[in-house]
Amino acid sequence: MHETQSDALVTPASEMTGETGSYRYMSGEVFRHEEYTEKVDIFSLGLIMFECFEGTHWLRGLAPVEACRRMAMHGDRPVFSGKTPSQMQALIRRCWAPAPDERPSASEVGATLAAIEQELMPAICYNCNGSCLVS
């Protein structure tokens, strides 16, 4: 059997490298050099959504590698200030669950975001009847 182009693009888990990427958004399994899946990207997305809603970087004075070490080895997570709607907090917490199999899939994140948008938009747009939205 010969290798196809698509086979060449797939890297077996045994060949995946640890500590690849930015410490700012790195999941524990990557930091600990464990096998990992696409759920590492969901972890990173959770941190990015935290920053978007909180309006601040989650490191709070820590060096990126130290913050990553604390999350990977001790389970530390950023602290919400109260700015982020509770529905988003719940989704973000699911995204940065310690166990990858507890994190939502990308399609689950998309569906949850759509549901949150439907729930929150009436409250956000009550003054403008949606005219502030770009079509």
In a domain, 84, yes or no: yes
In a domain, 61, yes or no: yes
What are the phi and psi torsion angles at 70 (to 5°)? -65, -40
In a domain, 51, yes or no: yes
Average pLDDT score, the chain: 83
In a domain, 105, yes or no: yes
Task: Compute the radius of gyration of the chain from its Cα atoms.
Answer: 18
Closest CA to 120 of 82, 88, 95, 93: 88
In a domain, 129, yes or no: no
Give residue-wise pLDDT tens across range 82-131: 899 999 999 999 999 999 999 999 999 999 999 998 888 766 555 565 55
Record the pTM.
0.77
**What is the spatial distance between Cα 19 and Cα 23, in angstroms, rounded to a whole number?**
8
Give residue-wise pLDDT tens across range 9-23: 444 554 555 566 788
| Structural domain of 118 | 15-124
CB atoms within 10 A of CB 21: 15
In a domain, 35, yes or no: yes
In a domain, 130, yes or no: no
pLDDT of residue 7: 47
Query: In degrees, to the nearest 5, what angle opens at C-alpha 53 toward C-alphas 70 and 62?
Result: 25
pLDDT of residue 134: 45
Q: Where are the alpha helices (DSSP H) in the chain?
A: 5-9, 28-31, 39-54, 64-74, 86-95, 106-124
Report how many domains make up the chain. 1
In a domain, 25, yes or no: yes
CATH of the domain at 59: 1.10.510.10
